[in-house]
């Protein structure tokens, strides 16, 4: 699985975290139907490993399916065994090292320049600026791109459709989107609103605003 290619192509990582495993699975499948195929199932959700296993069986072996909130080496191993083909961490942690040992691509959570350099040394493939809104939003991304102009950054945290357009216009390779996209779908809510939001985010991702 070529994570950078998938990020450049799809430009959205959908983050599914729910209290209802069946609803979380339904959310994953709905997102795939709506052509948002790059999906991360957070290990902090209900029976997340079971959701990953069932989603892998339903989507087939080539669908890009990740595990999020991977902190430890056991987390990375469990995600790999469940069928995830990439992992996402919230920080610079041992989950990165173990995932790379298992030959899984890693989207590593970073906040500071020091984090970025540390994650790069561990072999991270792309860098999740988290929490992006609290870090300063698109202005912080622009600042980071000064010393790191070629780094593949993925802002995550508080990204709505308007923010997605702005981040992408200012050089993000993709954006990670949780509740502004998922809403209550992974907790048992309906999927009609999810489909509408998915279309709005897909439009935002492929029609970003021009950078000022």
Instruction: Give the catalytic positions in this structure.
Output: 40, 128
Cα 71 to Cα 84: distance, rounded to the nearest angstrom:
15
- CA angle at residue 175 from 100 to 42, to 5 degrees? 55
> What is the Rg, in whole angstroms, of the alpha carbon atoms belonging to the chain?
16
**Residue 35: helix, strand or coil by DSSP?**
coil
Specify whether the CB–CB gap between 14 and 181 falls below 8 A.
yes
- Provide DSSP, 72-87: SHHHHHHHHHHT-SEE
* Structure tokens given for 47: 């029976």
């Amino acid at each position: 699985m070529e994570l950078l290619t998938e990020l450049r192509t799809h430009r959205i990582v959908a983050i599914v975290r729910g209290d209802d495993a069946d609803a979380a699975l339904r959310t994953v499948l709905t997102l795939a139907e709506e052509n948002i195929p790059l999906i991360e199932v957070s290990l902090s959700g209900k029976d997340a490993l079971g959701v990953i296993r069932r989603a892998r069986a339903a989507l087939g072996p080539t669908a890009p399916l990740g595990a999020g909130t991977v902190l430890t080496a056991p987390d990375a191993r469990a995600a790999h065994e469940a069928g995830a083909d990439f992992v996402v961490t919230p920080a610079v942690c041992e989950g990165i090292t173990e995932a790379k040992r298992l030959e899984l691509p890693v989207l590593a959570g970073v906040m500071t320049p020091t984090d970025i350099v540390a994650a790069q040394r561990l072999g991270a493939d792309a860098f999740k600026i988290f929490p992006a809104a609290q870090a300063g939003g698109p202005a912080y991304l622009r600042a980071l791109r000064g010393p790191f102009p070629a780094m593949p950054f993925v802002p995550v945290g508080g990204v709505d459709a308007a923010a997605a357009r702005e981040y992408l216009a200012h050089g993000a390779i993709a954006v990670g989107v949780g509740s502004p996209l998922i809403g209550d779908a992974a907790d048992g809510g309906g999927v009609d609103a999810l489909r509408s939001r998915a279309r709005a985010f897909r439009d935002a991702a492929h029609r970003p605003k021009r950078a000022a």
